[in-house]
Structure 1
Amino acid sequence: MIALAPEHLCIVRSILNRHVPGLEVRAFGSRVSGRPKPWSDLDLAIVADSALPLLTLALLKDDLRESDLPMRVDVVEWRDLPASIRNGPYEALPIDGRGPQAWLEHLRTDSSS
């Protein structure tokens, strides 16, 4: 279980749906391990077959930073985390259930605009 208020989870999911629809996003760190402090950040890792475009990652981080969330949100790619973290406790955040194909369609739409 992720130690996050329902309204904050809703904000996070909305932003993730906008930038990485269909990709699996995993929460890890103190908000999953059961030892969060009120000021603890939210650690998220995006699971993808290939590296995310830098612009996608930058826009995602900007939207999270500009949101009404009361905590900092750190976003990394799952592949970049050390094995000690990948093997530790994490929880997948259900985003929109459309699968990785939705993210590819999203990229095609963005690049043709």
Structure 2
Amino acid sequence: MHLKLGDEIRKYGIDEGDWKKVFSVFSHFPHISKAILFGSRVKGTYKPFSDVDIALVGEALSLTDLLHLKNEIDDLLLPYEFDFCIYKDLKNTEFKSHIDRRGVEVYDRSHWSIMLRTALLLSTCS
């Protein structure tokens, strides 16, 4: 899995601005350390209305977090259906292995906070 940001991330059929909105919501949830995109979006077989499959990584991540996250993502009114799962709770080892092999890390909390601090610094310098 490799972190994909910028121009590279557009190949998954989602606008970069929409990704930033989603990542901003992720940043409200301290238990989310990483997000891994998988499924048709990564395989390149997605259709315009294909769902966006994302495995969320975080040791303390709970179903309650997931429900609140889904509500916040729905409130963004984006033209995509997001399907989230909690990576540590997946029981099917073949499915986990597939995510490990084919998944693309699209969000990393530590990287995102560096990006936000840089953006804030640049905005105060102008």
Contact 1:11 1:69 in 2 (8 A): no
Question: Aligned match of 1:97 in 80, 89, 110?
Answer: 110
Q: Output the TM-score relative to the length of structure 1.
A: 0.73
Separation of aligned partners in 1, 2:71 and 2:43: 26
Question: Which is higher, the Rg of structure 1 or of structure 2?
Answer: 2
Partner of 1:104 in structure 2? none
Question: Which structure 1 residue ranges, 4+ long, deviate > 4 Å from structure 2?
Answer: none
Partner of 1:58 in structure 2? 67
Number of positions where the alignment pairs a residue of Structure 1 with one of Structure 2: 98
Partner of 2:77 in structure 1? 68
Distance 1:32 1:84, change over 3 A: same
The answer to whether 1:84 aligns with 2:97 is: no
Q: What percent identity do the matched residue pairs reach?
A: 27
Q: CA deviation at 1:85?
A: 2.8
Unaligned runs of 5+ in 1: 99-113
Partner of 1:43 in structure 2? 53
Partner of 2:23 in structure 1? 13
| Larger helix proportion of the pair | 2
Separation of aligned partners in 2, 1:36 and 1:71: 12
Separation of aligned partners in 1, 2:73 and 2:104: 19
Q: Output the TM-score relative to the length of structure 2.
A: 0.66
Unaligned runs of 5+ in 2: 1-7, 112-126
